[in-house]
């Protein structure tokens, strides 16, 4: 008989996730007038997902303490799973660039060591995580 043990999320990772979500909420309120109904944090067995779904925009970031080997994603990675800014938004590329810069800085400030994009394969960037099957950069 094989024992099935649940590995809880560490206290340090929980703190990082909560701090990132706090910063995420503040950013979305300041920049998009987000309401509590548009912001969510859903916990799972390896971390959590921070979500914002507002008018003409949707962002979802998986905040993983660990991947348990999935796709070679390293520990403490923010994974971009949804990044949508409608073409109806004025200056959508500039806005996407600003959100991307905020994401990089917020992830690093809150203890995450990597950022990944599950919709792209590995890159040629010098900080691409070796062996990861998706675009995953060390911050």
Average pLDDT of adjacent 10-residue blocks, the chain of 139 residues: 65 98 97 94 96 94 93 96 84 92 98 96 96 96
Q: Which domains does the chain have, with CATH numbers?
A: 11-138 (3.40.630)
Sign of CA dihedral 68, 74, 78, 83: negative
Q: What is the reported pLDDT for 125?
A: 96
Q: What is the reported pLDDT for 89?
A: 63
CA–CA dist 120, 136 (Å, integer): 9
CA–CA dist 70, 28 (Å, integer): 30
């Amino acid at each position: 008989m094989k024992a099935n043990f649940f590995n809880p999320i560490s206290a340090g990772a929980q703190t990082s996730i909560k701090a990132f979500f706090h910063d995420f909420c503040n950013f979305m309120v300041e920049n998009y007038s987000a309401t509590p109904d548009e912001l969510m944090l859903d916990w799972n067995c390896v971390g959590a997902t921070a979500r914002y779904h507002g008018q003409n925009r949707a962002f979802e970031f998986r905040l993983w303490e660990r991947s348990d080997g999935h796709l070679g994603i390293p520990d403490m990675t923010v994974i971009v799973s949804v990044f949508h800014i409608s073409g109806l938004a004025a200056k959508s590329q500039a806005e996407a660039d600003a959100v991307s810069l905020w994401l990089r800085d917020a992830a690093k400030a809150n203890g995450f060591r990597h950022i990944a994009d599950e919709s792209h394969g590995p890159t040629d960037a010098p900080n691409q995580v070796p062996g990861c099957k998706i675009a995953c950069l060390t911050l």
